[in-house]
Structures are given as structure tokens and as C-alpha cells.
Amino acid sequence: MKSLYKRQLAMMCGIMAISFVLLSAAFMMLSYRYIISEKRTDMERNADYIASFTAANYQQYLTIQNDFYRNYVASIALISDSYIMVANPDGRILYATDGDNFYEYQNITIPGEVISQVLERGSYTGLTNLNGIYPEKRYMASLPVITRNLRGGVSVHGLVLVAADASSVAEMWSSTAAIFFFSAVVVLLISVVVSTLTSAYLSRPLNEMADAARKFGRGEFDVRLEGYEGREDEIGTLAEAFNSMATSLANVEQRRADFIANVSHELKTPMTTISGFAEGILDGTIPKEREAEFLQVIVSETRRLSRLVRRMLDLSRLQAMSDTSITAQEQFDLVETISQVIISLEGKISGRDLDMDVQLPEGRVMVWGDPDSITQVCYNLLDNAAKFAPSGTAISVHLTKKDGKAVTAISNLGATIPAEELPLLFDRFHKADYSRSMDRDGVGLGLYIVKTILNSLKESITVTSEDGVTCFTFTLTLA
């Protein structure tokens, strides 16, 4: 398996290699053309100097057969590292020098095509060996030697040819290319080092995340990625999200453990009671006259077990529904639903000597939702309020409309719930410490079911508890 580090390094090296190949090809072509162009320009300039000097000599001395002229031509050839020839208009070579030596060419003439091009077009440039005069082809520039008389007439007295060895041009180009390739190799090596460090810098956090994920698989939920807090890039964001996920997994695992512990506790207590009293009746430990009393306890604990199982089944159904899709919604009258729940709890409310402060809008309040689920929400909240409200107090039910929502608030007097415990009220099997002595029949699933139903409908529920007043508020979308 190829690692991300190797793939990224190979990709970056490949891109750099291709880039250098393309750049080197373009550089070679452009530099070669530039060097040739510069060399041609230099030769044409030198040819123009010599042609002008030769023409001036002709006008002054009517000849170029003197030492001064020879030395001038040799100096230019030496300085420009070129080979200079001076010929008659018919192509016969008069002078030929490379700056150090003068060469004699007896009965050798310049090729006719060169002469005709110089005389007709005024110049000649190209790569030639002059039909064997040079042992190899050389770059050459040629101009005519022209003089003008007082009447404006033009006379051609000869040709000037300036040639340069192709090997010197190639050496110049190869030297430039060598510098380029040396620089390219250095840059490539630096790029490989930087790419290696960059790839390692990018792949290291991913490897750490993979190791942490493996530890999660083994149940080690305390692992966190450290050292990425200051990174303001995608890796830093990913590390932050990973740590957040790890925290959530740890919380889920803790809740799962708490859930198992709570279920075990809730099942163990009534089963122990039922088993103990049943054995006491069977073995005669409990007197005959008290058997009915303890049978009533067994019936009560059995009903409690039944409620626990029923609530857990309801919870499983709701969770399965929320995991697959949002509960099917329809329009219904929330006022009617709340009224029916209040009527169904009238016996319990009256039995605890409680009053009802009900403020519902006149007419119907149509909302979107599942009528049966919302009935269960209202029932659980009102049942909780009636369970924990002291005798002689009142339960308040207020229904208002706000920002396209029906807002229902159910509140009661009682003990103030600490602020740090409010978010825990909707957890499975959670019971506030103050309520344990009062709610011996509860199983701690009512509010969790309420939260699950409203979440499945994409609605919200909040709770506040101040100065002995605890208020649950939930919303539904108006139809």
C-alpha cells in the first residue's frame, strides 16, 4: 500500500521534473537562438566597420594594399574572435586573417551565390564553408565595400566577409546551458527536500489520527490529538473535529455504561423485592396475617417492572423512528390535545389537591406534528408537574403564538433544580436527587422520551428552574 506521503512526494517530484524538462527545452531553444542572433549582430557590426573603413581607404588612397589597413583588419579579427576576408568584386580574396595570422588564397574565389546576394541585396548572412575554403561550416556576415563620388554615383570596390567558428558559438551556448542545468539540479534537490518535509508535515497528523482511531476501536476513549491548537488550516480544523468526535464518543460510551448500570439497578431493585417477599410467603417467614400486605407490594413492584419495560419499548420505537426518518406529520389542534390530557389527569391532579392555571387561546391552534406523540409529550410533562408539585399549589399551562411557532409552557412550584443539573434532566434514567424520595414509581425515561419525540419533529424543548418554579417550554410549527 502506498502511503499518502509517498504519493504526494512522487507527485510533486514528477511535476517538478516535467516542469524542468519543459523549461529546459524552452531555455535551450531560446538561448540558442539568442546567442546566434547576438553573434550574427556582432559579425554584421564588425563587417560594417571594416566595409566603411575599407571604403574610406579606397577614397583616400585608391588602394587597400598597405600595412595600416592590414593591421586594422587584424586587430578587429583578434578582438572579435572572428575570421575576416576582404575580396575583389569578382570574388578574388585579397586579405584573410584571424588576427594572429594572414592567409594566402591563390586562385581561390568566393562562391558566386554569395557574391550575387551581397551585390543584389546588399548583405549576406548564413552558415557556410564557402565551398571548401573553411574546413567546417561557419557563421558568416558579408557586406559590400561602396564608395560615392561627387555626382552621387555608387562604386563597389569589393566584399568584406566576417566569419565565426560554430564551435565557439556552441561552447558559449553549452556554458550557458550548463549553468542553467546546474541551477535546475540545485533547485530540484531543494524542492525534493522541501517536498519531503511538507509531505511529512501533512501526513504526520493523519497517521496520528489513524492510531487514535485504532485505540478508539480498542475502547481507549481518552486519546486526544495534541499540538494542533495553533494551526489555522484544514489539518487544524480536522484535528479539532477529531477531538470533538472523541469527546462525543467518550460521552456516548459513558452514557452507555450509565444506561446499563441504571437499567440493572431499576430491574434489580423490584426483582429483589418480589423474590424476597415471594420466598418469605412460601417458606412461612411472613405471617399469614401479613401476606396480603406483602402481596400488594409484589403487585406494585410488578407494575413498576411493567412500566419500565413499556417505557423502554416506547423508547426503542422512538429511536428507531428517529434513526430512519422524521415522524410523519399532519395538522391537528393543539388546544384540543392539551385539553384532553388535562382531563385524563384530572383524577391525579384532584387527588393531590392541585389547582390548574390554564391559559389557552380562543379557537383552534393548528400545528404540524404527530398527534399521538404530542399527546404523550403533554402527558409526560403534566404528569411530572403533578408528581412533584406540593399539595395546594397550582400547575400552569400557557399556550402562545410567536414567530410561526406554537409555544407551550408547563410549570409548577416545588424544589429549585440546580442549574448544572438542568441539562441532565433529559438523559435516560436520570433522576434529580431531590426527587428520589418522592418519585419511587418513576423510571427516569419520561423526559428523555419527550426530548426524543420533539427532536424527531425538529422541534425544541427547554427547562428553567428559579425561585421554586420549574418550567418546561416546547415549540411546534404552526400550520
pTM > 0.75? no
DSSP-derived 3-state class of residue 370: coil
Q: Are residues 27 and 155 in the same domain?
A: yes
3-state secondary structure of 57: helix
Q: Which residues pair with 461 in a beta bridge?
A: 474
All three cell numbers of 359, joined, read 391559559
> Does 424 share its domain with 473?
yes
Amino acid at 240: E
Phi-psi region of 290 (alpha: psi -120 to 50; beta: other; left: phi over 0): alpha
* pLDDT at residue 86 is higher than 70: yes
Domain match, 14 and 153 both = yes
The whole-angstrom separation of Cα 11 and Cα 133 is 55
Q: Is residue 336 domain-shared with residue 454, that is, in the same domain?
A: yes
More confident: 381 or 307:
381
Helix (H) or strand (E) holding 378: helix 371-388
**What is the percentage of the chain residues whose pLDDT exceeds 90?**
15
Q: Where among 307, 325, 343 does a domain terminate?
A: 325
The distance from CA 96 to its chain's CA centroid, rounded to whole angstroms, is 72
Cα 201 to Cα 124: distance, rounded to the nearest angstrom = 62
CB atoms closer than 10 angstroms to residue 247: 12
CATH of residue 165's domain is: 3.30.450.20
Cα separation of 129 and 161, whole Å? 12
Total domains present in the chain: 3
Amino acid at 188: L
Q: Give domain status of residue 212, yes or no.
A: no
Instruction: Say yes or no: 57 and 167 in one domain.
Output: yes
Q: Tell me: do 264 and 334 sit in the same domain.
A: no
Contact 249, 216 (CB under 8 A): yes
Out of 325, 344, 372, a domain closes at 325
Helix (H, G, I), strand (E, B) or coil at 400: strand
Phi-psi region of 464 (alpha: psi -120 to 50; beta: other; left: phi over 0): beta
Q: Which three cell numbers stand for residue 333?
A: 389542534
Q: What is the pLDDT of residue 356?
A: 93
437 occurs within a structural domain: yes
Full domain range(s) for residue 140: 4-172
228/422: higher pLDDT: 422
Task: Determine the average pLDDT of the residues in 148-173.
Answer: 76
Do 133 and 231 have their domain in common? no
Residues of the chain with pLDDT > 70, as a percent, come to: 87
- Digit-coded pLDDT (tens) for 242-265: 888 888 888 777 777 766 776 676
68: in domain? yes
**Same domain membership, residue 424 and residue 408:** yes
